[in-house]
Structures are given as C-alpha cells and as structure tokens.
Structure 1
C-alpha cells in the first residue's frame, strides 16, 4: 500500500478497512485480519494497525471478540459509509470544486465520465464488487 504524507497512516489504513467493508469483501460478522496479519500485509508497524483498529472500534465499524479476534460490526456498512462520505466531503470535494472552477468545467461533464467509470470498474450486479 502506498501511503500519502498528507494524512496519518492509521487513518489511511482505516480508509482501507472501510473500503473492504463497502466493497463487501469483508461482510458483517466476519472475522477480519488480525493486527499482525494486516501489519505484515500492509508493511506497517503492528502498533499502527492496533491504533487503526482502536479507532474503528470507537466508531463502531469493527468489534473485538475477546479471544477470537476483530469482526465487522452489524452497523459497519452504514457507519463506514457515513465515515467515508464525511471524509470525502471535507477533504476531497473542495479540491474537486476548485479544479472544476479553475478548468472552467461543469458538473454535467463529470456525470458522463462517472457513469463510464462505474461501468468499466464495477460489476453491475453488485454495483461495488470490484475495483481496478
């Protein structure tokens, strides 16, 4: 995983976990990778993943079942979507609007491109089953 300097790594990992949930790769009630497993997979310190998991647990996206591991909470889909939506609105959307203004583009131009992107990157049946 490539990390950006503009955001703490633990929050970028939280985005990664939320994305897995929103793409339905990790389903409600399912066990997610352990702290060590995810740390190895993402090539980060286990303490960073632990901080991420604590953060996601506080936000009721995952839950820890003592002795069994971390699992996707029953409210994870709704909560993860709200979390990602707020993040997008606060962090990404202002930059997008600024670029639209500077490039003298209209939102209607993006609508066509967005539909094309969805068709080419996501399975139509699940609407969110795979990302390129």
Structure 2
C-alpha cells in the first residue's frame, strides 16, 4: 500500500479496510486480519493498525470478539457507506467544487464523464 503524505496513516488504513468490505473481499462476520498480520502486510506499526481498528469499531464497521479477534459487523456495508459519504462530502467534495468553479466545468460535462467512468469500471 502506498501511503499519501496529506492524510494520517491510520485513516488511510481505515479506507483500505472499508474498501475491502465494500468490494466484498471481506464479508459480514468474516474475521479480519489480526492487528499484527495487517501491520506486517502494510509495513506499519501495530499501534497504527490498532488505532484504525478502534476507529472502525467506534463506527460499528467491525466488532471485537474478545480473545478471538475482529470481525466485519452485521451492518458494515451501510456503516461504511455512511462513514465514507460523510468523509467525501466534508473533505473531498469542496475541493472538487472549487476546481469545477475555477475551471468553468459544466455539470452536463461532469455527468457525461461520470457515466462513462461507471460504464467502463463497474459494468463489465
């Protein structure tokens, strides 16, 4: 995983975990990698992964079964979407809107690009 400098590593790991859940790689009630396993895989400090897991647990995305490990929560997909939507709306969308305004991009042009993107990437 390539980490970006503009965002805390534990938040980037949270995005990684959320993406795995949204893509169906980790399903409801699946055991997620242990703190140590994910730390080794991503080459980060286990404390960083633990901070990520605590965040995701607080967001009801994963649950901790004491002595067994962390698991994908029953309502994880809904919770991930709510969490990611809030992040996108608060952090990323204002930057997009600023660029749309500054570059005088029309919404119909954005819609066409969006539709092409979806067709090429999500509709085999």
Map Cα deviations across residues 14-66 of structure 1 (whole Å, 9 max, x no partner). 11111111111111111111111111111111110011001111111000112
> Where does residue 129 of structure 1 map in the other structure?
none
> Where does residue 114 of structure 1 map in the other structure?
114
In the TM superposition, what is the alpha-carbon distance from 1:123 to its structure 2 partner?
4.5
| Counterparts of 2:101 and 2:110, CA distance in 1 | 13
In the TM superposition, what is the alpha-carbon distance from 1:119 to its structure 2 partner?
2.0
Query: What is the alpha-carbon root mean square deviation over aligned residues?
Result: 1.2
Local SS of the residue matching 1:70: strand
Residue-pair matches, total:
124
Map Cα deviations across residues 49-88 of structure 1 (whole Å, 9 max, x no partner). 0110011111110001122211000111111100000000
Q: Which has the higher helix share?
A: 2
Moved over 6 A (4+): none
TM-score by length of 2: 0.94
Q: Which runs of 5+ in 2 are unaligned?
A: none
2:36 equivalent to 1:36: yes
